[in-house]
Amino acid sequence: MNIAVLKETRPGERRVALVPETGKKLIQLGYAVSLEAGAGEEAGFTDEAYTAVGVTIAKDPAAMTGAADLVFKVNAPTFGGDRDEVAWMRPGSIYLGSLMPLRNLEAARALAARKVSAFATDAIPRTTRAQSMDTLSSMNNIIGYKGVLLAAAELPRYFPMLMTAAGMVPPARVFVIGAAVAGLQAIATARRLGANLFATDVRPEVKEQIESVGAKYVGIELSQDASAGGGYAKELSAADQARQRELLARQCAEVDVVITTALIGGIFAPRLIGADIVKAMKPGSVIADLAADGGGNCELSRPGETVRVHGVTILAPLNLPATMPTHASLLFARNLYSFMQAFTAEKAFKLDLADDIQDGALITHEGEVRHARTREALAKAGA
């Protein structure tokens, strides 16, 4: 079977879905692997590094894709216009990458119309068996890490406590909202930098995880369960939202840095920090809104920009994994390899809709959108 790996064309994107390490391993599994010329350069992987392990470099991406049984990408494939990657794929072929179908409904629709079987690695169930395939967790680790570094660079004071000849400098106080993968990594990174950590999450079961990486848990008693399963949170009731808002206002007013990572279902960002909360924060404080890709947790965030309001710096960076393209590509490619390895038999990929991982991640198949949430969202969009 042939695998084609396309170059990423999204503005600012520097990752690639294949690195030489995983190219070599896929070839050992029995696949023929081709890569669009220059696809790995922004991540630090030259065409020569790929050819050295047996990957073919293709200068005609359309022909490469049309001959492929499987197509790898980091982002959703493009469709329409001069570079119609979906049209390049042949009907019956398989797409594998971070599709984010609820954010890319038209891409999902186009893939279904083309009769491509599209697996979204961001929809892989969060189970022990699937951990090595979960690109969402791999990339969220980077988001949590890099987000704290950006906040530390903007903060007009030290993160750690320091003893100097001029006297002691107390540590910065950091409040992390949301304790899934990005939030826990943010806590761990800020802890390594010497900050005093506090964190909250609407899922009380993560209290032990928060404390295990060095933060003090703060939270409210919920009137109903806020866990959506699989490590995700669901939207709170109106009463719980009001009580949570009081908690957030109190905590934000007391700290130097606020890191927000909250997403509903891992996709969309609830608005948790209003303009009134920002106004009450200390001058010089920093908010790092790491949920900007999902719309942002702060009312005053401008996704992709840094703004200063009421003396508070608000960061809302987009696509942070692309700012660390070497390791982001390495981890992403390893996730794809783990997926392929799990479902390869006799040197070929085996579709198995009875498998819980394939069933959960398969968005389109045989001309249909089979992923329930994507199908419902498309129906609403059509209405």
Q: Catalytic site residues?
A: 126, 131, 134, 137, 232
Report d(CA 358, CA 150) in Å as an integer. 36
- The answer to whether the beta carbons of residues 3 and 33 sit under 8 Å apart is yes
Structure tokens at 112: 């279904």
Nearest CA-CA partner of 19 in 57, 56, 46, 59: 46
Q: Is 342 exposed, middle or buried (0-12, 13-18, 19+ CB in 10 A)?
A: middle
Identity of the residue numbered 109: R
Question: Helix (H, G, I), strand (E, B), or coil: what is residue 226?
Answer: coil
- The answer to whether the beta carbons of residues 8 and 15 sit under 8 Å apart is yes
Cα 17 to Cα 97, 227, 323, 366, distances in angstroms = 8, 31, 15, 25
Report d(CA 181, CA 88) in Å as an integer. 35
Nearest CA-CA partner of 156 in 260, 258, 256, 252: 256
Alpha helices for the chain (secondary structure H): 20-29, 47-51, 61-66, 85-88, 105-113, 135-154, 181-192, 207-212, 238-254, 275-279, 325-342, 356-361, 372-382
Nearest CA-CA partner of 299 in 258, 329, 255: 258
Beta bridge partners of 80: none
